[in-house]
């Protein structure tokens, strides 16, 4: 894989030049206050932005946030992000109240060397996500007019064929930012010949969301540990009753086939925390995985499962983790995720957290981020990379 990177661009000189940076600033916001609840993705892009600022570039940042319907929607405004980004850069971030309109043009034109502007949410324009090449291309033309060079540092979006990710690089000299370069390096290591034993931990809600990556990883891994809501479909495939737990009935046969092909590689929970309801204060206790009461649902893996997963992880030389083990947002059902995460940090392995809810759990549970080898910013992108798919944003940088 041959991709020019930020250092190549800096070596050419960017002082006084406008550099358009596609960042992934899709951070969670509190629905009541509108405040940012996790600024991890903002901090992840700081090395790239800081290098451009120091080199005297006029930095124009663009990003999406949430899933607006192709029109302005105040609840998805990037304004709070501009404020937090300015705090982290210790310099004002000039905010444009539109993406490619009058405010954006005025804001970009007014930038001095070493200053940063943030455009409003890309997805306020339907051209960003359009499946029509002409419509998407027209929006890309407008965005590209704000830069003399393009930097993609939005790994969390490289699996999307969107204007700012796929089409703009064709219109400008383009490079990968520090974050994207690191993500590709790390995931290439996992996709190649990782040091063994190679242990993968998968959680989250649905088997259907992870089926492709399970299919891709199963021949390569030594152990595959499965928790989260998806484990109940596997338990059902083993013939166990799962009460009112999350279940994808249409995937039961598929899970049975995977278990048969896995030849013992797949390790499932032996106990779960079962509750009366999906609620933080619901009555709950730990029960065997093959003895979930009919009126209860599993919301976490149990302590025996954590111990078994810990033992499997203890010998690993490479670990990839994607998906929480339970409903970690509720303290009563966070112990499984915490226990497995702590076990990962105590190994001698090269450890990768596959973004998404896993990365959110690391921060929400107050775990030391530096104790993991790498925490990805792209859950979906990291999984698709490991599935062997062509990612539109990466392919655009290679061209």
Give DSSP secondary structure letters for 160-188: S--IIIIIGGGTS-EEE-HHHHHHHHHHH
The residues with which 320 forms a beta bridge, in sequence order, are 200, 352
- The verdict on whether residue 26 carries a ligand-binding annotation is yes
Residue 210 is assigned to a ligand binding site: yes
Residue pair 275/235 in contact (Cβ under 8 Å)? The answer is no
- Spell out the per-residue pLDDT of the chain, length 399, in tens: 579 999 999 999 999 999 999 999 999 998 889 899 989 899 999 999 999 999 999 999 999 999 999 999 999 999 999 999 999 999 999 999 999 999 999 999 999 999 999 999 999 999 999 999 999 999 999 999 999 999 999 999 999 999 999 999 999 999 999 999 999 999 999 999 999 999 999 998 889 989 999 999 999 999 999 999 999 999 999 999 999 999 999 999 999 999 999 989 999 999 999 999 999 999 999 999 999 999 999 999 999 999 999 999 999 999 999 999 999 999 999 999 999 999 999 999 999 998 778 888 998 898 888 899 999 888 889 999 999 999 999 999 997
Q: Given the residues 43, 171, 206, 389, select the one marked as catalytic.
A: 206
Query: Which of 156, 177, 243, 356 is an active site residue?
Result: 356
- The pTM (predicted TM-score) of the whole model is 0.90
* 139 SS3 class: helix
Residue 41 annotated among the catalytic residues of the structure: yes
How far is residue 208 from each of residues 199, 214, 256, 258, 278, measured CA to CA in Å?
A: 21, 10, 14, 13, 21
Is 5 a known ligand-binding residue? no
Residue 356 is among the residues annotated as catalytic for this protein: yes
Consecutive H or E run containing 338: helix 335-345
Q: Of 22, 41, 58, 338, which is the active-site residue?
A: 41
- Of these residues, 204, 379, 380, 393, which one is catalytic? 380
Q: How far is CA 114 from CA 14, 56, 95, 174, 395, in A?
A: 10, 4, 15, 19, 30
The question of whether 43 is a catalytic residue gets the answer no
State yes or no: is 31 an active-site residue.
no
- 25 in a labelled binding site: yes
């Amino acid at each position: 894989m041959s991709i020019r990177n930020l250092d190549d661009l800096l070596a050419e000189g960017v002082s006084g030049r406008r550099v358009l940076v596609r960042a992934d600033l899709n951070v969670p916001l509190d629905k009541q206050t509108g405040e940012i609840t996790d600024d991890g993705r903002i901090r992840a892009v700081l090395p790239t932005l800081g290098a451009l600022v120091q080199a005297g570039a006029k930095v124009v940042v663009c990003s999406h946030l949430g899933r607006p319907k192709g029109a302005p929607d105040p609840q998805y405004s990037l304004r709070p992000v501009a404020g937090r980004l300015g705090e982290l850069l210790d310099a004002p971030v000039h905010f444009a109240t539109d993406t490619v309109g009058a405010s954006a043009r005025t804001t970009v034109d007014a930038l001095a060397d070493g200053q940063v502007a943030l455009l409003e949410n890309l997805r306020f324009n339907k051209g960003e996500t359009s499946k029509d090449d002409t419509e998407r291309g027209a929006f890309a033309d407008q965005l590209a007019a704000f830069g003399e060079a393009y930097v993609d540092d939005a790994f969390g979006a490289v699996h999307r064929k969107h204007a700012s990710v796929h089409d703009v690089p064709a219109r400008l000299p383009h490079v990968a930012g520090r974050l994207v370069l690191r993500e590709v390096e790390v995931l290439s290591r996992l996709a190649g010949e990782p040091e063994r034993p190679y242990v993968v931990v998968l959680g989250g809600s649905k088997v259907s969301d992870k089926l492709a990556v399970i299919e891709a990883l199963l021949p390569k891994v030594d152990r595959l540990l499965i928790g989260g809501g998806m484990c109940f479909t596997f338990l059902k495939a083993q013939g166990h009753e799962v009460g009112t737990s999350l279940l994808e009935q249409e995937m039961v046969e598929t899970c049975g086939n995977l278990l048969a092909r896995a030849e013992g590689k797949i390790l499932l929970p032996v106990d779960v925390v079962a509750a009366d309801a999906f609620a933080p204060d619901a009555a709950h206790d730990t029960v065997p995985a093959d003895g979930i009461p009919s009126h209860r649902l599993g919301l976490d893996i149990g302590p025996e499962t954590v111990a078994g997963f810990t033992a499997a992880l203890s010998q690993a030389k490479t670990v990839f983790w994607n998906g929480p083990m339970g409903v970690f947002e509720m303290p009563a059902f966070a112990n499984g995720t915490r226990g497995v995460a702590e076990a990962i940090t105590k190994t001698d392995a090269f450890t990768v957290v596959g973004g998404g809810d896993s990365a959110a759990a690391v921060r929400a549970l107050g775990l030391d981020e530096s104790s993991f080898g790498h925490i990805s910013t792209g859950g979906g992108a990291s999984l698709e990379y490991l599935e062997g798919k062509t990612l539109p944003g990466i392919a655009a940088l290679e061209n």
